[in-house]
Structure 1
C-alpha cells in the first residue's frame, strides 16, 4: 500500500492586489518622506521636489526588472533566487539574501529607535524601554499571520497616507506661505541646476527604498503573475504622487532657512496650527515609524525562511506551524537581532549604509535578469520587459551607488 508523506506546511497565498499594494506603500512611504524633504531642500533649494521625480524614474527601471523576476520566481527570498538563477552560484545567492535581510533588520532597528523617541516625548518613559516594547509588539503581530500582519500594516498605511494628504491640504490652505513660489520649483535646463537636482535625487532615492520588499512576500500572493507587476507599479506611481505633492507643499509653506535645517520638516507646516492639530500629526508620525518596523520584520523573516527552505540556511529556520502559517523561528530570530541592535549598537552609521546595500543588490538583480534573458526562455507565462530595462537598471544603480561615496 502506498503511503503519502504529510507535506510540511507552506506559506499561505492570501495577498491580493489591494493588500500587496498597501504593503508596498507601507514599506516605501514612511520615514523617508517624513524626514528627507528638509535634507533635499538643503541641497537643491526650490528644485528639491523635482528630485523625487528623478529618483522615481531611476527606481522604476529596477522595479520593472523586479516585476518580471518576481513572476518568474514567485518565492520568498526573491533576490537570492534571482541571483542564483542568473549567475548559477549558490554562495552569491546566499550573500544577496543575507544582505537584503540585514538591510531590513538595520532599517527596522533605526526606525524602532525613532518611534521610541517620538513616544518618549509624549510619555516620558525611557527610550530603551519603549524600543523594546515597540519591537516586541510588532514581533507578536508579525508572528500572528501574514493576512493579519498585512491588514494591520495596511490600516496603519492608510493612516500614514492620510497624514501626508492632511499635510498637503493644510499647507495649501495657509494664507501667508513663507517658502518658495511654486513657479520657481521647476529647474531650468542649466548644468548647475541639474547638478543640484541629481545630487538631491540621491537622498530622494532613499524614500523609495522598500518597494523591492514586495518580491519577498511573492510566495504569499494570489495569482502572482498578474498581481505582482500591477502592485509594484501602483506602489511607485502612488508613492511618487504623494512625495511630489508633499514636497511641493512643504517647500511652498516653510521658510527655506528653517526647512533646510529641520529633521522633522512636515511638522513645520503646522507651526501656526492649534495644539490639537500638532499633537494629532505627531501621533500619525509615530504610527508611520511603527509601521516601518512591522513591515521590515515581515520582509527580513521571509528572506531567512526562503533561504532555509532551499537548504541554504539551517532547516529549522523554515519551520512553519500549521496554526499561524508564518515562519515563526525566522521571525523570532529577526526580532531578537533587532532587539540586540537597538540596545547595543549605534545604528546611525549602519543605517546610512543600508541604501548602498540595496543599490548593490539592485545591480546584481538587474544583471541576473540580463543573464536569464540570454538563456532559452521557459514556456511558462510571466511578465516580460525589454532587455534594455535591466541594462539601464544596472547603469543607474551603479551611478547612484558610486555617487553615494562622493
Structure 2
C-alpha cells in the first residue's frame, strides 16, 4: 500500500468532538484575550463576548447544515465550491481557513509562553518555539491519540475556568452585588468600544468551525456534526460570560488591560500553591489551543490537496500514524514564523478578520444552495434560509466595524 492511497479513519465520537471544539475556543480566547478586550470595552467586556456569540451562532447553524451535506476535510472549501461554483474562490477560502489556524496557533502559542514564563525564566521566543515543536509532534502522532490528549487538556482548562469563578467570588463576595454595573448605558462612546472589542472577543469563538475540518474522521457525521457544533457554542458562551464578568469585577482595569496572561491576575493575592496550580492549568489550556488549530489547518491543506487544489504530495498520509504528515510539518513551520514575528493582539485581530471573511462566503454559499438546488437528502440537518442570511449580514457587519476608526 502506497502512502498516497492511505486515507483518514473515522474514530471521533460526539464527546471527543465537543471537547475538540471547546479545547480551541476556550484555550484560544478566554485564557489569552480578556485583557486586550477589556482594554477597549472596559468593564463592559462581557457584553462584547455576548455580541460576538450572537454573530457566531447564526453561522454555527449554517455550518451544522453544510457539514452534514458535505462531511469532508477542508469543509469550507467544499461548501464554497458547491454553493458558488468557483474553483478560484474554493482555493482562496481553503487557504484563508488554513491561514486562520496558522495565525491563531501563533497567537495562542505566545499566550502559552507568557504563562510558562511566569514559572520558567527563559526567553519568550525560545519558550514559544519549544511549545510549537512539541505540539507539532503530538499532532503527527495520530488523530485519536492527539484528540484524546486535547480532550483531557480541555477538561483541565474547564476546571481552570471554574477555579477562576470560584476564587474570584470567594475572595470578594461583594462583586455579586455589582453585576448590574455590567449592563452598559445607551451611549455611543460606550457602545463603540463594546462593538470594537467584539471583534477581538470574536476570536474567542474561533474553533467551532474547526469541527467541520475533521468531518472525515468523525463517526456518523450526519448525526454527530450538528450536535458537536451547537454544544460547543453553547458551553463556550456560558463559560465566557461568567468568567469575563468575574475577572472585570475583581481585577483592576489598569492591570487587566493588555495583559497576555489575564486570568492569572485573579490569583495574585492567592497563595503560591493556588497560583501555581492555575498557571499549570493555563499552560495546558493554551497549549491545547495550539494543538487543535494545528490539527485543523493540516487537515485543510490535506483536503485541498485531495480535492486537487494544491500539489498532491500535501495529501500524503503516513501509513503508521494515519495523519497528513507533510501538511502538518508545513503548518508547524508557518506557525513558528508568525509566532516569532508578530505580537499577540495583531495576530488575534488578523485571525478574526480572516474568519469573518470565510464565514460570510460560507453563509453566501448556503443561501445559493437553498435557492438553486433540490431539497437535501434525508439525514441532512436543515436550517431556514434566514439563518445564513443573518449569518452573512452579521459577519459582514462585524468585519466592517473592525475597520472603523473608533
2:389 paired with 1:391: yes
Q: Where do 5+ consecutive residues of structure 2 fail to align?
A: none
Which residue number in structure 2 is paired with residue 254 of structure 1? Answer: 251
Question: By how many angstroms is 1:27 displaced?
Answer: 1.1
Question: Which has the higher Rg, Structure 1 or Structure 2?
Answer: 1
RMSD: 2.3
**For the Cα contact (< 8 Å) 1:143–1:331, is it kept in 2?**
yes
**For the Cα contact (< 8 Å) 1:307–1:313, is it kept in 2?**
yes
| 218, 233, 239: which one aligns with 1:221 | 218
Question: By how many angstroms is 1:269 displaced?
Answer: 1.6
Give 3-state SS (helix, strand or coil) of 2:5's partner: coil
Deviations 1:172-204 (A, max 9, x none): 111465798112222356666554443332332
Which residue number in structure 2 is paired with residue 75 of structure 1? Answer: 72
Q: Where do 5+ consecutive residues of structure 1 fail to align?
A: none
**C-alpha distance in structure 1 between counterparts of 2:61 and 2:335, whole Å:** 31
Give 3-state SS (helix, strand or coil) of 1:272's partner: coil
| Greater Cα shift, 185-194 or 233-242 | 185-194
| Greater Cα shift, 266-275 or 211-220 | 266-275
Change (3 A) 1:318 1:61: same
**C-alpha distance in structure 2 between counterparts of 1:193 and 1:110, whole Å:** 27
**For the Cα contact (< 8 Å) 1:9–1:322, is it kept in 2?**
yes
Give 3-state SS (helix, strand or coil) of 2:318's partner: coil
**C-alpha distance in structure 1 between counterparts of 2:149 and 2:177, whole Å:** 38
Counterparts of 1:110-259 in structure 2, within 5 Å, are 110-175=107-172, 181-188=178-185, 194-259=191-256
**For the Cα contact (< 8 Å) 1:179–1:252, is it kept in 2?**
no
| Greater Cα shift, 227-236 or 132-141 | 132-141
**C-alpha distance in structure 2 between counterparts of 1:278 and 1:177, whole Å:** 22
**C-alpha distance in structure 2 between counterparts of 1:38 and 1:129, whole Å:** 24
**C-alpha distance in structure 2 between counterparts of 1:397 and 1:48, whole Å:** 19
Deviations 1:71-108 (A, max 9, x none): 10000000000000011111110111011101111221
Question: By how many angstroms is 1:347 displaced?
Answer: 4.9
**C-alpha distance in structure 2 between counterparts of 1:300 and 1:33, whole Å:** 21
Which residue number in structure 2 is paired with residue 335 of structure 1? Answer: 332
**TM-score normalised by length of structure 2:** 0.92
Change (3 A) 1:72 1:276: same
| 281, 287, 291: which one aligns with 1:290 | 287
Which residue number in structure 1 is paired with residue 29 of structure 2? Answer: 32
| 2, 10, 26: which one aligns with 2:7 | 10
2:58 paired with 1:61: yes
Which residue number in structure 1 is paired with residue 300 of structure 2? Answer: 303
Change (3 A) 1:383 1:275: same
The count of residues paired between Structure 1 and Structure 2 equals 402
**C-alpha distance in structure 2 between counterparts of 1:350 and 1:182, whole Å:** 32
**C-alpha distance in structure 1 between counterparts of 2:115 and 2:37, whole Å:** 23
Change (3 A) 1:36 1:133: closer
Change (3 A) 1:116 1:46: closer
Change (3 A) 1:123 1:148: same
Give 3-state SS (helix, strand or coil) of 1:312's partner: coil
Give 3-state SS (helix, strand or coil) of 1:29's partner: helix
**TM-score normalised by length of structure 1:** 0.92
Question: By how many angstroms is 1:230 displaced?
Answer: 0.5
Change (3 A) 1:134 1:261: closer
Give 3-state SS (helix, strand or coil) of 1:10's partner: coil
Deviations 1:332-361 (A, max 9, x none): 221222233345x33554443121111000
| Greater Cα shift, 167-176 or 116-125 | 116-125
**C-alpha distance in structure 1 between counterparts of 2:150 and 2:54, whole Å:** 26
Change (3 A) 1:319 1:68: same
Question: By how many angstroms is 1:380 displaced?
Answer: 4.2
